[in-house]
Amino acid sequence: MITRMKRLTFLVYHKEYESFLDRIRELGVVHVIEKQQGEMDEHLLQYTQKRTLYKNMLQAMYMLADKQPAEKAEKKISADELVKQYDALQTRIQELNQQLPAIDKEIAQMEAWGDFDWESVRKLQRAGWYVQFYACAERDYQPDWEETYNAIVMNEGNPRHFVTVTPAPATLDLEPLRLPALSLKQLKAKRHDTEVMLADSTEQLKAFCKAHYCDLEAYNAQLQDDIDLLKVKLNSEQAAEGTVKLLEGWVPEENVPQVEQLLNEQGVCYDMRNATREDRVPVKLKNNAFTRMYEVLTKMYGMPSFTDFDPTPIVAPFFSLFFAFCMGDAGYGLILILLGFLLKKKLGKDMAGMMNLVITLGIFTTVFGAILGTFFGISLINSGLPESLKQFIIAGNVELFGSTYDKQMVLALGIGVVHICIAMTVKAINSTVFYGFKESLSAWGWWLLVVGGVVIGTLSFLSLIPAEVSQWAFIIVGGIAAIGIYLLNNLHRNPLVNIGAGLWDTYNMASGLLGDTLSYIRLFALGLAGGMLGQTFNTLALMVVDGQEGIGAVFGWIGFSLIILIGHTLNIAMSCLSAFVHPLRLTFVEYFKNAGYDGKGMEYKPFKK
């Protein structure tokens, strides 16, 4: 549900403004209305840029430190010094990484000449001999150079490498090569030393990150506080020639007594009023423990506006059901429950809410997977379960309207019809609550036609009402619905325009509802695919051990274990991905569209430390 808000406007004497803001921030329940527009304040821009730097640094430090509980540093350093040392270590690592390709290039250049001693070359040069290094194509090499220039071939390949030793510079039609100043052995030693220094520098950076990432977290949080405070100051207006400050914000109704007590103690002049339809009110969701886990899904699409209903209470059970249908395996549900408990213990409080969601989805998957009759790819309907339990399993085919259909496919479509009917009910009620019944006649007309038609059709199919009664019921419901859809869809318009608009809505609804309903077949298809893949891995594993004896049986069971472990792990991973994405799509598209939910609300963010 959405918490009701009160609009708060107060005036504060300018000399008491700083201390008053500190008290408001300590209270931590007032959402300040931002009015800053145009060019950003210079100080706020600097703070924002610094916070971006801290945020990027933190992400890198988390990875390097594996985000384990930080070791306490011997001496806490300032934020600027922390950034300086971190940058210095990063720069050192980058320099060493850049040196390695250059050394490799020199090594590749020297390998053609072999490992010779440069000191011997220098002795010849000091004795008055010119030693020059050349490379040319094999066909261009002239053997008489060996007599004329004392050419010595160092490499017979193509290109051919040779060196000349002459009392005067050789006058070949070739450009002498400039070789590295170090020998091949020295270059390889230099590369090894550089790799050692790079490894040492990387370890130093990891140790630094492990010791100081908590410090940077604290500096980042403090900087965010400074940004929030500066934003509030910039959103304040001066009044009475600058002697007082005016500020506006929103307070949840449940926190109004605390705020009024503070304002009265401070002697602040204020005004508190209810929100109106024209106000842009921040939204605070308030749900029970089960529904609260699914608020993250609602926020992924967008917060409801103040004039909407919170969709989370409907999203929670249906998303869980969709997820379980797509997974479709009771054994995989048990794995999710176990994984959720293990990660909850390992990751700590920050991820406790997400792990609770994983555990909950695992419970739904276990129960619904058992109803669908699959356990780690094994069909429960063909197992040795007692017949009293098998009667609860939904499997096999059912005959409808003279044709045979899979029971699970029919179940998926039935769930989709119920989901869409609930969405249309929410849309009609929401429109009535916030715009009045007269402005909602079209929504109620469509609701009566679709939901009423589904109810009458179901009762007739189950033979709970006679065929003649159902026929007249369809006529009456359709006639009443047509009045709302075609004549009263907008009381402020010409009836002929209303008829045209109604016909256009009819086309959109007819094509849209059919496609929306058929979309729910994906629940059946994904569950079927996961079950068949699991069954295939089981069959492959059994083929490995089938007919094996002696030492072959040992290797067969090892292969069996590997296929089962790797196969089902892969299947669980793919099934989890599909079971998250497709139910999310059914929620965001089919449900939200038919419920008229746009998700353009603003989230409640109180001014607090």
Spatial contact of 397 and 405, defined as CB atoms under 8 Å apart: yes
Task: Classify residue 138 by burial, with Cβ atoms within 10 Å: 0-12, 13-18, 19+.
Answer: exposed
pLDDT(74) > 80 = no
Would you report the helix, strand and coil content of the chain in percent, each value rounded to 5? Answer: 65, 10, 25
Confidence of residue 596 (pLDDT cuts 50, 70, 90): confident
Confidence of residue 386 (pLDDT cuts 50, 70, 90): confident
Count the residues in the chain: 609
Residue 362 has a pLDDT of: 93
How large is the average pLDDT for residues 566-588? 91
Residue 447: both structure tokens together: 């609701």
Separation CA 458–CA 452 (nearest Å): 10
Separation CA 409–CA 520 (nearest Å): 9
User: Where do the DSSP E strands lie in 2-86?
Assistant: 5-13, 31-32
pLDDT(451) > 80 = yes
How large is the average pLDDT for residues 396-410? 82
Could you say which DSSP state residue 144 is in?
T
To the nearest 10 degrees (0 to 180), the angle between helices 521-545 and 495-519 is 10
Separation CA 388–CA 390 (nearest Å): 6
Separation CA 10–CA 30 (nearest Å): 12
Residue 120: both structure tokens together: 């011997």
For the chain, the first-to-last Cα distance in angstroms comes to 26
Confidence of residue 240 (pLDDT cuts 50, 70, 90): very low
For 324: left if phi > 0, alpha if psi spans -120 to 50, otherwise beta; the answer is alpha
Spatial contact of 69 and 217, defined as CB atoms under 8 Å apart: no
Helix (H, G, I), strand (E, B), or coil: what is residue 378? Answer: strand
Residue 228 has a pLDDT of: 59
- Which amino acid makes up residue 241? E
How large is the average pLDDT for residues 577-602? 89
Residue 340: both structure tokens together: 């959720």
In b/e form, how buried is each residue of 140-170, taking b as 16+ CB within 10 angstroms? ebeeebeeebebeebeeeeebbbbbeeeeeb
Separation CA 455–CA 447 (nearest Å): 11
Spatial contact of 327 and 576, defined as CB atoms under 8 Å apart: yes
Residue 241 has a pLDDT of: 45
Separation CA 211–CA 215 (nearest Å): 8
Q: What is the 3-state secondary structure (H, E, C) of 536-596?
A: HHHHHHHHHHCCCCCHHHHHHHHHHHHHHHHHHHHHHHHHHHHHHHHHHHHHHHHHHHHHC
Residue 80 has a pLDDT of: 80
- Nearest partner of 316 among 269, 277, 356, judged by Cα: 356
Residue 157: both structure tokens together: 């390949």
pLDDT(500) > 50 = yes
Q: What is the 3-state secondary structure (H, E, C) of 279-320?
A: CCCEECECCCHHHHCCHHHHHHHCECCCCCCCCHHHHHHHHH
Confidence of residue 45 (pLDDT cuts 50, 70, 90): low
Distance of alpha carbon 222 from the chain centroid: 26
User: Where do the DSSP E strands lie in 167-253?
Assistant: 237-239, 244-252
How large is the average pLDDT for residues 134-151? 89
Residue 192 has a pLDDT of: 92
Spatial contact of 594 and 426, defined as CB atoms under 8 Å apart: no
Spatial contact of 285 and 295, defined as CB atoms under 8 Å apart: yes
Of 30-34, 113-117, 367-371, which one has max mean pLDDT? 367-371
415-443 confidence digits (pLDDT tens): 999 999 999 898 888 888 877 888 778 88
Residue 49 has a pLDDT of: 66
- Nearest partner of 250 among 292, 279, 286, judged by Cα: 279
Per DSSP, the residues of 508-524 read: HHHHHHHHHHHHTHHHH
pLDDT(37) > 50 = no
Separation CA 422–CA 594 (nearest Å): 9
Comparing 554 with 312, which gets the higher pLDDT?
312
pLDDT(41) > 70 = no
Residue 9 has a pLDDT of: 78
Separation CA 245–CA 195 (nearest Å): 61
All structural domains of the chain with their residue ranges: 114-178, 304-400+520-595
Spatial contact of 110 and 183, defined as CB atoms under 8 Å apart: yes
- Nearest partner of 376 among 552, 522, 542, judged by Cα: 542
Helix (H) / strand (E) containing 390? helix 387-390
Number of H helices, E strands in the chain: 20, 14
For 377: left if phi > 0, alpha if psi spans -120 to 50, otherwise beta; the answer is left
Residue 40 has a pLDDT of: 43
Of 61-70, 209-218, 255-264, 566-575, which one has max mean pLDDT? 566-575
Helix (H, G, I), strand (E, B), or coil: what is residue 69? Answer: coil
pTM of the model: 0.68
How large is the average pLDDT for residues 497-523? 82
Spatial contact of 216 and 61, defined as CB atoms under 8 Å apart: yes
Spatial contact of 490 and 442, defined as CB atoms under 8 Å apart: yes
Residue 38 has a pLDDT of: 38
Spatial contact of 244 and 14, defined as CB atoms under 8 Å apart: yes
Helix (H) / strand (E) containing 153? strand 152-155
Residue 1 has a pLDDT of: 79
Q: What is the mean pLDDT of the chain?
A: 82
pLDDT(556) > 90 = no
349-381 confidence digits (pLDDT tens): 777 888 889 999 999 999 999 998 888 888 888
How large is the average pLDDT for residues 464-471? 82
Which of 54-58, 117-121, 309-313 shows the lowest mean pLDDT across its residues? 54-58
Separation CA 259–CA 20 (nearest Å): 12
